[in-house]
Amino acid sequence: MEVFTHWRTWDEARAALAGPEIDLDIDVDAVGRAAEAARRWHGDQRRPTGEPYVEHLLEALEVLVSGPRVTDTAVLSAALLHDVVEDTSATLADVEAEFGPVVAELVDWVTKPPAGGAGRQAKRAARAAYLRRLRDAPRDAVLVKLADRASNVQTLDRTAPDFQRRYYAETVTYIIPLAEAHPWFADWYAAWRRSFAHLK
């Protein structure tokens, strides 16, 4: 299973995007504006495993570029911005003002709405509804979600055992079916599933 953890900073990502190994026509300056906005909005946030949150966003970008070789600026920008509405003070209006309606729509599709209640059951129900809604998402939003989840599950073994089992089951139930329409992601998630089959 290929792992996408090479870009820890935007400078590393920018050098790779502009270098000969990637060899794609990507608007690096436009993607860089999204990376800067994501860094600004997320600030000093950390992942549950302790790394700077921006590393997750750069991993999602790396997945899209190095895996299915996505070049669309809106998709790559949305990958970097996919959690700003959910996890920071940024609003969809802020995203649209800086990056336009296409990027804002993609971010909207992958943003989990707030749970309808405070209890655990309400949160789980809201999460399941969000994941089911992704079946109706446009292709580009699905690409963002698949890259987001790939970033999170590629190192699932670094998380608590109970979380590993829950997240594995959720990924198999909701995310892998989304990958079936995207050959590179279908293959990657099949390899991932084999690597983490002990979590069944």
Interatomic CA distance for residues 192 and 67, integer angstroms: 14
pLDDT, position 121: 84
The pLDDT, as a whole number, for residue 49 is: 86
Q: How far apart are CA 52 and CA 79, in angstroms?
A: 16
Q: Give pLDDT, residue 196.
A: 96
What are the catalytic residues? 86-87
Tokens representing 149? Answer: 């989840």
Domain 10-199 has CATH 1.10.260.40: no
pLDDT along the chain (200 residues), means of 10: 96 94 94 98 93 97 98 98 97 98 99 79 88 97 99 94 95 98 98 95
Greatest alpha-carbon pair distance for the chain in Å reads: 51
Q: Where are the domains of the chain?
A: 10-199
Q: How high is the pLDDT of residue 116?
A: 66
Residue 126: both structure tokens together: 């809201």
User: Which residue type, as a one-letter code, is found at position 118?
Assistant: A
Alpha-carbon gap, residue 53 to 150, rounded angstroms: 15
Q: What is the pLDDT of residue 152?
A: 96
Q: Residue 114: what pLDDT? A: 79
